C-alpha cells in the first residue's frame, strides 16, 4: 500500500476510482436500452430520473451526449432540452468538485509546471476555453469541468459559462433526438 504525504492513501483511491468507472462503463454499455426503459417506466418522474442519471454519469468517463439525444426523443424538443440542461448542469457541478479533489490529492501547483506539451499553461480560466471547450463532442464537457476544478477556476465564472454552453448543446442534441424520432 502506497501512503502519500499527510497520510493519504491516494493510490488506493485512484485504483478504486478506476475500478468503479470500469464497472460503470461495462454495466451501462450492456444496458443502454435499460436506461430508456427506466426513464419511461417511472412516468412523470422520468425527467427527474434522467437528471439523476446525468449525475451518476458525471463520475465516469461515459459521455452524456447520447442521453441528451434520448431525452429529446423521449420528451420532445422543449422538455428534452430542459431536462438535459438541468442534468448537464448537475454533472458540471459534480465534475468541478471532483476536479478540485484531484487538485488537493495531487498537490497540483507543483505538478502543473512539469506537465508536458504546455498543458500547465493552458488558459483554463478564460471564457473562450470554458465555453468553447465544452462544445467538443463527447469529451469536451468532462475535460473542461475537471480542468476547471483542478485549475481552481472561480466558481461563478465557471458556472455561467458552463450553463450557457450546456444550454446550447442541450438544444442542439435534444432537437436532433426529436428530429430522428420524427424521421424514423
How far is residue 175's CA from residue 127's CA, in Å, rounded to a whole number? Answer: 26
Task: Report which of 129, 155, 127 is spatially closest to residue 144, judged by C-alpha positions.
Answer: 129
- The separation between the first and the last C-alpha atoms of the chain, rounded to the nearest angstrom, is 54
C-alpha cell at 79: 422538455
How far is residue 27's CA from residue 99's CA, in Å, rounded to a whole number? Answer: 24
Confidence of residue 4 (pLDDT cuts 50, 70, 90): very low
Domain ranges of the chain: 5-183
Say yes or no to pLDDT of 164 above 90.
Answer: yes
How far is residue 132's CA from residue 152's CA, in Å, rounded to a whole number? Answer: 18
pLDDT one-digit tens code per residue, 46-104: 888 889 989 888 878 888 888 888 888 888 899 999 999 999 999 999 999 999 888 88
Q: Between 7 and 81, where is the model more confident?
A: 81
Q: pLDDT above 90 covers what percent of the chain?
A: 26
Tell me the pTM.
0.74
Confidence of residue 2 (pLDDT cuts 50, 70, 90): very low
Amino acid at each position: 500500500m502506497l501512503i502519500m504525504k499527510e497520510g493519504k492513501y491516494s493510490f488506493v483511491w485512484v485504483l478504486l476510482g478506476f475500478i468503479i468507472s470500469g464497472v460503470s462503463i461495462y454495466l451501462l454499455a450492456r444496458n443502454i436500452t435499460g436506461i430508456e426503459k427506466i426513464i419511461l417506466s417511472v412516468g412523470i418522474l422520468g425527467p427527474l430520473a434522467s437528471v439523476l442519471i446525468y449525475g451518476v454519469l458525471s463520475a465516469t468517463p461515459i459521455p452524456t451526449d447520447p442521453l441528451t439525444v434520448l431525452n429529446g426523443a423521449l420528451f420532445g424538443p422543449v422538455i428534452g432540452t430542459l431536462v438535459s440542461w438541468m442534468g448537464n448542469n448537475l454533472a458540471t457541478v459534480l465534475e468541478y468538485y471532483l476536479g478540485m479533489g484531484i487538485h488537493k490529492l495531487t498537490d497540483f501547483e507543483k505538478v502543473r509546471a512539469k506537465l508536458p506539451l504546455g498543458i500547465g499553461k493552458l488558459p483554463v480560466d478564460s471564457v473562450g476555453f470554458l465555453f468553447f471547450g465544452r462544445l467538443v463532442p463527447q469529451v469536451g464537457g468532462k475535460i473542461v469541468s475537471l480542468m476547471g476544478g483542478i485549475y481552481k477556476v472561480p466558481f461563478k465564472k465557471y458556472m455561467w459559462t458552463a450553463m450557457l454552453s450546456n444550454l446550447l448543446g442541450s438544444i442542439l442534441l435534444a432537437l436532433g433526438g426529436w428530429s430522428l424520432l420524427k424521421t424514423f
